[in-house]
Amino acid sequence: MKIPLPFPPAPRARANLSAGALYAIDGGDSFVYYGQVAANKQVGFFRFRSTVVSVSEALSAELMCRVGVSYPSIGQALRAGVWIGLGRHELRSELIEEPVLVQWPVGTLEVSLWKGPTVIGTTQVHDPEIQHLEIIAAFDATFHVPPRLRSEFTSAQDAWPGGGRVWQARRMKEELAARHPEQPWHKLPIGWVPVQ
């Protein structure tokens, strides 16, 4: 499928949130990234990028990350030409099961672990076993997803462009505390363990 960047705006486009729906995303860096809607309506993004749309190669690539995307923002991204729909395809097996997500209340070190609608445990935010897990969030398809994909694809260690995982959120909080020591809402909680 030869659809070059930039994608044409589609003023009447609507998001397809059916499991298996595939999208191409303009990463804003001259590359196309790819995401497939999971069984729970999160979007799984593949570790593959190209200069023109390539469905078969995208679907055969490994899964790079899986995040919650604000549903209305997908339609807005389609209408703006940032995303383009590529139909429904067989759902990747990694996108069938519910992932474990982390809920981190503001000002605490204790987090809850969720699998679907069920809390399966609690732990401390610096627990090494959870650093790779996603924090519960809804990313905007136009403003948050492209920088996140660029950051993920290049394995950037910068917390600012992408965010999402526990270790990234911890780094971001440390940086905010360092940048704004006079702001009480950026003060790190007592017992904070620095990110290594």
74 and 137, same domain (yes or no): no
148 and 83, same domain (yes or no): no
pTM of the model: 0.91
Domain termination site, one of 46, 72, 95: 95
The DSSP symbol for 185 reads: G
Pull the structure tokens for residue 188.
């790190």
Domain termination site, one of 39, 64, 95: 95
Residue 84 covered by a domain: yes
Contacts of 117-126 spanning 24+ positions with Cβ under 8 A: 124/193, 125/166, 125/170, 126/170, 126/192, 126/193
Residue 1: the pLDDT is 67
- How far apart CA 90 and CA 173 sit, in angstroms, is 39
Residue pLDDT, tens place only, 82-119: 999 999 999 999 999 999 999 999 899 999 999 999 99
Residue 161: the pLDDT is 53
Position 4 confidence tier, pLDDT thresholds 50, 70, 90: confident
Residue 192 covered by a domain: no
Residue 84 is part of which domain span? 21-95
